[in-house]
Homo-oligomer: A and B are copies of this chain.
């Protein structure tokens, strides 16, 4: 790719007495940015768990608020968020309050939430099946493996959708997570 590119440039300006570099604004999402965003989500989850253990609920909640604010796209409106363990009629968490409750619980509006990020996760890994990069938005699908303090691993099927915001950061605008189906 790099080599082909240099050849293209070389052919293109062959015979030119001067080569003027052009400026580029690129708002597309790259594979590398998607991997980094997934890793960032995983690291944040483990960090919230660790903060909860070390510093208590209030600290974990404050961190979770910051993560939701920075990593999700609630600034644009509803986020299409179906967390792993939510139940009807509160399955979808299209508001930041709903997302926060899912991660750290403690909100009487969402009485069934026990706080997914408080389960003592020590490791989180994405194992991707496929990416679709549409341009300024992109999606990933695959497994995510969560390891708890006792070494038990929970695996979910997870889809993330991202857009790149004006500052060049990816934001999650879609998140569908579900436990693996087990045949009865």
Measured CB to CB, the residues of A under 8 A from B are 1-2, 4-5, 8-9, 11-13, 15-16, 20, 22-29, 31-32, 35-36, 38-39, 75-82, 84-88, 91-92, 94, 112, 123, 125-137, 139-143, 155, 157, 159, 161, 163, 165-166, 173-174, 176, 178-183
Contacts and interface: CB of A to CB of B under 8 A. Distances in A.
10 closest Cβ contacts across the A-B interface? Answer: A135-B135, A178-B178, A22-B128, A23-B78, A80-B141, A92-B129, A25-B77, A28-B28, A135-B136, A78-B130
Contacts of A88: 143, 155, 180
A181 B84 contact: yes
A25 to B, nearest CB: 4
Number of copies of this protein chain within its complex: 4
B166 A86 contact: no
Contact of A80 (B78, B132, B180): B132
